[in-house]
Amino acid sequence: MPTSRSYRDSCAIARALDVVGERWALLVVRELLLAPQRFSELRHALPHVSSNLLADRLRELERNGVIHRPAATEGPRAYELTERGRKLEAVLLALSDWGMDAPQPPPPSALSATSVLIFLRSAARPDPAAPPTNCRLELDGRVWTVRLESGRVQVQPGEPATAAASLRTDPGTLSALLTDPATLATACADGSAAVVGDPSAIERLLHSVTDATAGTPADHEHPVSTAP
């Protein structure tokens, strides 16, 4: 059942925590930063939450105007952030900065595609003088368009109109590749990654993550802008 607990404190911090302070609530918001997701997709991205608890959090967030479900032409309706919900991106960025020194959780731990993509979008610093390049990225069966342009990386859900190359892998492998792009050939050889098209485009994408952002996507989740 959705909770109706309250701190019964008039401070704005307490009132904010009344809305998003329950366990899993902010991770649901994180998962919706880049694209709407259906219940099954959120359940896959957050494997350690039970279906009942996830359903409760979604109802609470919807009731409080953080997320909503627009009408769908077919299939289950997807959840997406409201304008009010998108304002939490800055909160998540600050929490990410604060949490960098926190220890890693014990295995088995989860790493969602959204987490890795938020890291990539924030940490990447491609050559601003290089021509714009589109890459197709497939993670856990979902396709994303990753565009390198003007020294930035943009991430959009869906198939690119054109792409110099395509990379199919899983979030954990992509995390490792962003940490050490030299392992791309090994990942392709053992089947954990597959590249179609111009390999140099994928290498350029991987190498665009600068040495200044040492660590892994699990350490750095820095949403710097919201995909439209």
- As a whole number of Å, the CA-based R_g of the chain is 18
Class of domain 12-97: mainly alpha
Q: Contacts by 87-95 with C-beta closer than 8 Å and gap 24+?
A: 88/20, 88/26, 88/29, 89/33, 89/223, 89/226, 91/26, 92/26, 92/29, 92/30, 92/33, 92/221, 92/223, 93/222, 93/223, 93/224, 95/26
Domains in the chain: boundaries? 12-97, 113-208
What is the residue-level pLDDT of the chain in tens, covering all 228 positions? 666 789 999 999 999 999 999 999 999 999 999 999 999 999 999 999 999 999 999 999 999 999 999 988 788 899 999 999 999 999 998 887 788 789 989 998 999 999 999 989 888 999 999 999 999 999 999 999 999 999 999 999 999 999 999 999 999 999 999 999 999 999 999 999 999 999 999 999 999 986 445 545 555 544 433 332
Rounded to 10 degrees, the C-alpha dihedral 45/50/51/54 comes to -70
The pTM of the full predicted model, rounded to 2 decimals, is: 0.87
CA-closest candidate to residue 126, choices 35, 200, 182, 226: 200
Please give the CATH architecture assigned to the domain spanning 113-208. Answer: 2-Layer Sandwich (3.30)
